[in-house]
Amino acid sequence: MGYLKFASPVLDESTIAGVADVLRSGQLTSGPWVQRFEQDLSVFCGGRPTRVLTSATAAIEVALQLCDIGPGDEVITGAQSFFTVLNMIVKAGARPVFVDCDLVSRNIDLAQIEAAITPATRAIIPTHYPGALVDMDALFALAQRHELRVIEDAALVIGSQWHKRNVGAFGDLVTFSFHPNKNVTSIEGGALVVNDASEARRVEVLRFHGIEYQADRTRDVAFPGGKFNMPDINARIGREQLQHLSEFLARRRALADRYFARFATDPPCILPPKPATPDDEGYSWNMFCVLLPLDRLSIDRKQFRDALEARGIGTGMSYEALHLCTLGRTYGGHKGQFPNCERISRETVSLPLHAGMTDADVDRVCAAAAEVIAAGKAN
C-alpha cells in the first residue's frame, strides 16, 4: 500500500507535453500563454479583468498597493489564516487588526469586524475556507457602509460559489492561488481579479518593477514595484488545469461526501460544514479539516499525525493562529484573545483530499483515524 499524500496535483500527459511546446517556442515569460490564461480566468470570473502573478502572496501584496494602503492604515483580517495575509499587511506598512472566526466554518466573524473598525481602517481581508462561505452579501454591505475595500483571500476556493456565482465573479478584489496543493495549479502562481481596465493596467505596472513606459519608449518608475510576472510555462500548465476544474471539483465533492459518510471516531471529531445536498456546487473542497477531541484523548495532535504517518498517510495543519505567532504578538496578540481561532490552531488536522484519490483511499484514512483515536482514548 503506497504513501497517501494529503495534497497532490493531477497533471495529465497533455499538460506535460504543453510544457515542452512552450520550451521549444522560445517565448518563456510574459508571453501568449500568460495572455490566454488571463483571458480564460476573466471568463471564469464573469468577465472581470484578471491578472496572473507568481503567487497568491504577490497578489495580496499588489492588491494592498492597488488600494494605496500603507503606514498609518489598518487592515482587518481573521486570525485563522495562513501567514501570507499577515506578512503582506505588515510589508505594506499597515497595521493588522485581527478578529475571531466561527469554530466550524472558520469564516471571519462579521460582528467582530464591525466592532474593530476605526477611522484608520482601510480594508478587510477575509480568508475563504473550502466549505460554506462567509455571508458575502452581509460582508459587502458592511464594507460599503464604512467605505472599505475588500480583498478576498480566495486561495483555497477557486470553484466555490455564492448564489450560483463563482467566487471572483463579483465583489471587489479577489486573489487566487495556483500552488500544487490547490484545486488547480500552475506549479507556483496566483491571480488578482480587479474591477476595471484601469486597475488591471496598474497591476501590470506593479507586478513588473513599477515600470511605466513614456511616449518615447523610455521607462520610468514612480512606485517601487515587485518582480511578479508569471512565466509562460506556468501559465500553460494553469490554463490546462483550469479546463479540468469542473471534473477536479466533482471528484473532490465525491471524496468529501464519502468522508462525511464514513468518518466516525470515538470520541467524535468536529467536522467541517456539510453541504445542504450531496451535489451542492457551492463547495470546492480544497481541504477536509477536522478538529481532534484532544480533551478526551491521552495523545496530542503530533502523536495523532505521527500515527497516521506511520500508516503511510500524510496530513496537514490548517492553520496556526496568526495573533499568537511572533509577528502577530508584536501587534498585541495574546492567548485567550480569540478562543475559536486558538482552539482550531490547537486541534486542527487536514486529512488527505485531492482529485487523484480513490474512494478506497478515503476509507483507509477513516479506518486509520478511528483506530488511532480509539487507542488514544483517555481512561
- Secondary-structure class of domain 245-375 per CATH: alpha beta
Identify the pLDDT of residue 345. 98
The answer to whether the CB of 128 falls within 8 A of the CB of 106 is no
Nearest to 231 by CA among 27, 21, 10: 27
Mean pLDDT of 61-86: 98
Window from 24-33, 75-84, 110-119, 310-319 with minimum mean pLDDT: 24-33
Strands in the chain per DSSP E: 50-53, 74-78, 95-99, 121-125, 149-153, 161-162, 165-166, 173-177, 190-193, 211-213, 219-221, 288-291, 348-351
266-277 as b/e: b if 16+ CB within 10 A: eeebebbbbbee
182 tagged catalytic? yes
Catalytic residue among 91, 182, 274, 377: 182
Give the model's confidence band at 108: pLDDT under 50 very low, under 70 low, under 90 confident, else very high.
Answer: very high
CA atoms lying within 13 Å on the CB side of residue 268: 7
- Domain ranges in the chain are 13-243, 245-375
Identify the pLDDT of residue 279. 64
Question: 287: Cβ–Cβ under 8 A, 6 or more apart, which residues?
Answer: 7, 129, 130, 156, 316, 318, 350, 353
Q: State the Cα–Cα distance between residues 201 and 123, nearest whole angstrom.
A: 21
β pairing state of 348-351 and 288-291: antiparallel
Express as a percent the part of the chain with pLDDT over 70: 99
Q: State the Cα–Cα distance between residues 294 and 310, nearest whole angstrom.
A: 20
Mean pLDDT of 172-182: 98
CATH number of 13-243: 3.40.640.10
pLDDT (tens digit, 9 = 90+) per residue, 284-312? Answer: 999 999 999 999 999 999 999 999 999 99
Cis upstream peptide for 283 (omega within 30°): no
Identify the pLDDT of residue 278. 65
Q: State the Cα–Cα distance between residues 109 and 118, nearest whole angstrom.
A: 17
